[in-house]
Structure 1
Amino acid sequence: MTPRQRRVAIVLGIVAALAAATALVIDALRSNMVFYYSPSQVAAQQAPGGRAFRVGGLVAPGSVRRDGLQVRFVVTDTVQMLPVRYEGLLPDLFREGKGVVAQGRLAADGVFVAQEVLAKHDENYMPPEAADALQRAGKEQP
């Protein structure tokens, strides 16, 4: 192998290694992205079936059912309702009628199985995605 061929082989190896590293980084970022959907979008089947995503809106009044650490409640954007199942401790500010964002997956039975539940942190705050979904639904932010 001549010195010129050796240099070309090294450059091609570096380019191939950079391309492989870039592909791995892009794949990792794509698999870790979590998108937000409203209950109306979930009902319209716009949410991914096999991937984790976030759903948000208001906790429907009278919908919270507790059984030990398992909690069932309904998230609504005032147009559609989505049943949610969560196992674990809920945030202290979790209340019926208040804003919530849950992250998880949609089960085959149509229930959203949450791995994480986030509640609003004061009287004037609502997650921006939830506020936008409520506005699109034609309602004012509470």
Structure 2
Amino acid sequence: MTRKQKRLAIIAGLGAVLALAATLIFVAMRDQIVFFYSPSEIHEKAIAAGTSIRLGGLVKEGSWKRVGETSDFVVTDGQTEMATHYVGLLPDLFREGQGVVIEGSVTADGSFAATNVLAKHDENYMPKELVEELKKRGEWQREGAPL
């Protein structure tokens, strides 16, 4: 083998190793790339209790109960509802009927233990994915509302 052929073989080998490593990383992270899961997706995928995820949906009207810094509310996507428990201060714009994205984990009883409520852009904020899901099911009613 000439020097040129040895160099090309080494470069090709390193390229193959790099491609394999990238493939393994992307396969391992494929479920973590999602920005958030809707309540329906959490039930469909049977996400294990204790797994850190983001939950997105609407705060169900009449479900928010607050005692001090403890808040209990229900997040819905129109099909499935998920009871949520959060200890801490909520954003000023947190209201029933508004879109939220919260971080936390599913508990053993099927509710959601929130650790963080992500900041909302304004009172009309709704996650893009939720808007698309509602439009797909024909339930979108707030035409012209900014995303």
Using the size of structure 2 for normalisation, the TM-score is: 0.66
What is the one-letter code of the residue matched to 2:72? Answer: R
Identity of aligned residues (%): 48
1:56 aligns with 2:45: no
Using the size of structure 1 for normalisation, the TM-score is: 0.68
CA contact (8 A) 1:38 1:133 kept: no
Gaps of 5+ in 2: 1-13
User: Alignment RMSD, CA only?
Assistant: 3.4
Which deviations, in whole Å up to 9, do the C-alpha atoms of 1:63-101 show, x marking residues without a partner? 111122211000111222111111111111101111111
The structural deviation recorded for 1:33 is: 4.8
The structural deviation recorded for 1:115 is: 1.1
d(CA) in 2 for partners of 1:64, 1:24: 42
- Cα distance change of structure 1 residues 62 and 126 upon mapping to structure 2, 3 Å threshold: same
d(CA) in 2 for partners of 1:78, 1:22: 38
- List structure 1 runs of 4+ shifted beyond 4 angstroms: 21-35
Please name the residue that 1:65 is paired with.
65
Between the two proteins, the alignment pairs up a number of residues equal to: 139
Which deviations, in whole Å up to 9, do the C-alpha atoms of 1:48-71 show, x marking residues without a partner? 533222111111111111122211
Gaps of 5+ in 1: 1-13
1:140 aligns with 2:138: no
Please name the residue that 1:36 is paired with.
36
d(CA) in 2 for partners of 1:79, 1:32: 23
The structural deviation recorded for 1:124 is: 3.9
d(CA) in 1 for partners of 2:81, 2:138: 12
Please name the residue that 2:10 is paired with.
none
- Cα distance change of structure 1 residues 119 and 96 upon mapping to structure 2, 3 Å threshold: farther
